[in-house]
Amino acid sequence: MKDFDSLKTLWEQAGDDLSPRDNKKVHWSNQSRNYKLNLQNQQLRGGILLIFTALLIIAMALFADFYKTFITYIGMYLLSVICLAQAILLLYTWQKIKNIDETLPPHQHLQQWEAYYNFRKKLIKWNMPLYFIFLNLAMGIYLFDIFQARPIVNVLIFLAIYFGWMVFAYFYLGKRVIRKEEFKLKTIMDNLKQLEAQLTGE
């Protein structure tokens, strides 16, 4: 019969080597960390892409040789400003996720994710429709002059394709991305709640 103190002595004498055993029953999960990186990269990629888009539009306005008037210039500059503003917002969000400190105790770590989740929910509520409206307004200003000299059939075909794509992007693609993001956020928070419960034994 050994008491705890004997076990402690045994532990202190122990080396730190153990032979591997059958690990088939063990499920490794690095889910939360992967999801964090995934959410972070999504914002970073979006931000960089929008900056390039804005720069491309500015370059086109300045150097490309095609039909341009005062109104098309306004449309193009507005488009770049909207893209840049959205890029800033995405990079700010990226920074916010990056700042979440995974080295804190689970309870505080969870609080940070909850704060981010609330921030993100509020942001999506106003940012998505506003970005969509302003983007289309700027596009409308740009196209207004372009369409003046075009046959009505061509204009209608273009508008049908354009609005079709916009509706698909907003109501299907956009919502799907948000659903996925919400799933990842909730998974991270649930994992942290489980972790906290394991430690506190609740």
Partner 1 sequence: MNQHKKKFTELYNEHAPGIRKLCLGYTGDGAMAKDLLQETFIAVWHNMEKFRGDAKWSTWIFRIAVNTCLSHLRKKKDPLVNMDELPLAGIADETHHKEQEVQLLYKCVSQLAEADRLIITMVLESKSYTEIAAITDISENNLRVKIHRIKKQLTEIYNRYERF
- List contacts with partner 1 (CB under 8 A): 1-4, 7-8, 10-23, 25-33, 101-109, 191, 194-196, 198-201
Nearest distance, CB of residue 3 and partner 1, angstroms: 6
The smaller minimum CB distance to partner 1, of residues 13 and 65, is found at 13
The smaller minimum CB distance to partner 1, of residues 151 and 201, is found at 201
- Token pair of 95 as six digits: 């920074």
Nearest distance, CB of residue 190 and partner 1, angstroms: 11
Triad 131, 113, 189: Cα angle to 5°:
115
Nearest distance, CB of residue 34 and partner 1, angstroms: 11
Nearest distance, CB of residue 166 and partner 1, angstroms: 40
The smaller minimum CB distance to partner 1, of residues 46 and 106, is found at 106
Label each residue of 144-193 as H, E or C. HHHHHCCCHHHHHHHHHHHHHHHHHHHHHHHHHHHHHHHHHHHHHHHHHH
Phi-psi region at 154: left, alpha or beta (left = phi > 0; alpha = psi -120 to 50): alpha
Triad 116, 28, 178: Cα angle to 5°:
30
The smaller minimum CB distance to partner 1, of residues 29 and 63, is found at 29
